[in-house]
Chains A and B, each alone.
Chain A
């Protein structure tokens, strides 16, 4: 097995890491499915309020690619269809049954099945949405043949879900899924594991895949970084990526014929009282995670009361969903962070800021490299132009000039964006660049804008 060492990057040590235990809570009564989980997808609603649905039944489909549908993770009654401005569909809320009833699909024997058989059941069940393509990070096209399928078998982001813990009983299902995906690609199926875990990762038992160890700090676990080192994407090339927990769901679908997307989710963060893991489906409301892990309600920072931010995802790449939000389709981590809406007198001028971490040596966090910090959501400064150079490259282990790409995006120069590697990145790969940026530029947003522009221009 090859080991790829990455030297650039940054491991953040934050308080509130999930303990390796499964927390219990009453199953949620209402589960939501949000079109906004799926990048640049315009939904077409297929159900009405009051309809009863089974788990695996479409709620809405992609307007541009109607064969791709999005299913309810639970069975129950459509409680509400939530719309926003200009009647934009925001969410479909399902009142869940106590016991989930599954729509039954035809199980597939992968060894003898053709690509078409597997594709049919993936599309029919709505699990096709779990397959993401690079470039752009959108749902894959069923007509495409990718040059490889790449699976990152671990998370390196701070506080993120431990994939090995979450998947310890699902190796058989994942084996079925990787065997199935191998039929779609002209190349290999790559599965990448953490060099730190080595044999301990359940994924290292997989057969018929190209296993690679990655060693180094975050973002070594980002699939985009791994692709850049294994099989970089050129113009016109396509690679598919699937998250490991989604592989388990694909395996269950192919073997049992049911749409079972339940997963093990890490409930983490400095404001979680008892951080741990829970079993749930995507769309589970935050109230469920609050009950499971508990939330530290009243807290003060610098003498000012600070609230809780509910994030679906990890602190570097997540969505602030609010107290009433829910777990996103692709997320396996929930983080309770401290809202940073406080003012810190002469914060920037203080010689020491013990509560805060900085990569800059002008603060003194380098003296305590193992210390864990209670990160909050304060921006810690105002937005400025690109001034400091060299800081972004230190946390981006890819063969890319980040600032040049970002400036090409800001200038909306498609040709330059291509030249600087827009096909190889999505926002999460730039998360650390944004984290360390002293100019406080919203770098992930810029990358997302660039991708939206490419999608519009290439359509």
Chain B
């Protein structure tokens, strides 16, 4: 393995300042620190540091996404074979899903990381790892048939206007992955709404579809017909929808990992469910509102999107309020907005906007306490 270090040592002068490719030093640093933890040592009074870093934190999220991703591959194939009446085996379905999602992932990473690297280069920063997660999230919340150019535009919009203009990972107000989805939703609505976009090939080859197959997501079905698939089917996730959002059980596996490692806040997830159930119970009764937890992007949003530490509330009390309001807002949008069936994306983006305000109120209490103490002392 030492040859990797040696090769990097050989290449470094070329990429250092003054070298032939010196202007690419941020890019080189990114690859170098990816391959080996750098030899930098502490310079302050704290002489030693924990061995966890942002790369590790981000890779935990990617691991947590894997169950949903794997299920998505199979489900994409399964939905496709059902729609066109194909007798596919398990691996054929997985292969189809893989074959369809790969271009989306490649476009997402190439466009997103390209912008990240370029910006890091211009600013002279290190490249942030944040996009490794965002870039994986974006294909998982898109319909499989989304045109690649629309995806590329959405990614560029999300990275530039969602993140870089605020100063990069850690400074953004909104969740960049959701911003990409919102961009598609508002700019190219036909690619992300309706009954034909959720199943591979359904839009193009509508004539070959098996008779009676609709392709509508459970949420659409519920709005149009008042019925929905049974709970277990939706819980397992064998339903039309965005690539990674359908299987609540796969998402829960990821949630366990995120909570266990402490990477995502369990408070947000729990309060999000509580908020949805609270509003749902008031409006449509408990049983019907439980169904909403396994429909659409609720579970995926609650576990992977709402818990983004940068755009969520930062204080522990704030996280309870923030999560609760996301859940509540999502159900309100789903139930009382006839034009739009899925409320999770907008609920999270809205609460992203409100998160600093929630924190402000929480922190204000701490400030008041301190002020009171000072007055009492006088």
Contact = CB atoms under 8 A, between A and B. Distances in A.
A388 B51 CA distance: 15
B44 interface: yes
A347 B263 contact: no
Contacts of B314: 389, 403
Contacts of B5: 343, 345
Interface in A367-389: 375-389
A436 B50 contact: yes
Nearest to A347: B37
Contacts of B262: 360-361, 390-391
B282 interface: no
Contacts of B128: 384-385
Interface in B8-59: 33, 35-57, 59
A318 B44 CA distance: 8
Contacts of A315: 46-48
Contact of B46 (A234, A343, A431): A431
Contacts of A384: 54, 126, 128-129, 169-170
A387 B45 contact: no
Contact of A378 (B41, B52, B56, B367): B41
A260 interface: no
Interface in A300-354: 303, 309, 311, 313, 315-320, 335, 337, 339-349, 353
A337 B50 contact: no
B51 A320 contact: no
B265 to A, nearest CB: 7
Contacts of A237: 374, 377
Interface residues of B, number: 59
Interface stretch (A29-37, A203-211, A438-446): A438-446
Contact of B374 (A236, A345, A346, A348): A236
Contacts of A444: 44-46
Interface string A172-216: 000000000000000000000000000000000000000000000
B87 interface: no
B2 interface: yes
A237 B375 CA distance: 11
Contact of B41 (A377, A381, A419, A439): A377
Interface in A108-132: none
A19 interface: no
Nearest to B259: A361
Contact of B57 (A12, A320, A341, A387): A387
A376 B169 CA distance: 29
Contact of B33 (A232, A236, A382): A382
Interface string B185-224: 0000000000000000000000000000000000000000
A360 B170 contact: no
Interface stretch (A54-62, A290-298, A420-428): A420-428
A319 B170 CA distance: 30
B363 interface: yes
A399 B53 contact: no
Interface in B109-136: 126, 128-130
B185 to A, nearest CB: 27
B374 A344 contact: no
Contact of A340 (B41, B46, B52, B167): B41
Residue among A237, A363, A384, A386 with most chain B CB within 10 A = A384
A198 to B, nearest CB: 30
B53 A345 contact: no
Contacts of A382: 33, 38, 40, 53-54, 126
B50 A357 contact: yes
A434 B130 contact: no
A393 interface: yes
| Interface size class, chain A | 35 or more
Nearest to A307: B41
Given A313-B45, A390-B316, A378 B50 contact: no
B48 A376 contact: yes
Contacts, number: 219
A204 to B, nearest CB: 29
Tell me if B's interface is mostly helix, strand, loop or mixed.
Answer: loop
A359 B37 CA distance: 18
A344 to B, nearest CB: 4
B52 A363 contact: yes
A378 B261 contact: no
A378 B54 contact: no
Contact of B377 (A234, A313, A375, A421): A234
Contacts of A427: 45
B310 interface: yes
A188 to B, nearest CB: 15
Contacts of B43: 320, 442
A358 interface: yes
A435 interface: yes
Nearest to B59: A349
Contact of A388 (B2, B37, B57, B367): B57
A357 to B, nearest CB: 7
A377 B44 CA distance: 10
A48 to B, nearest CB: 33
B44 A345 contact: no
Contacts of B374: 234-237
Interface string B51-81: 1111111011000000000000000000000
Interface of B: 1-2, 4-5, 33, 35-57, 59-60, 126, 128-130, 167-171, 260-263, 265, 309-310, 312, 314-316, 363, 366-367, 369-371, 373-374, 377
9 contacts: A232-B373, A234-B373, A315-B46, A347-B36, A358-B51, A359-B52, A389-B265, A389-B309, A393-B316
Q: What 9 pairs between A and B have smallest CB-CB spacing?
A: A381-B53, A385-B170, A234-B374, A347-B37, A360-B52, A356-B51, A375-B48, A343-B36, A348-B55
Given A377-B42, A381-B56, 6 more contacts: A345-B1, A378-B37, A378-B41, A379-B41, A419-B370, A420-B363
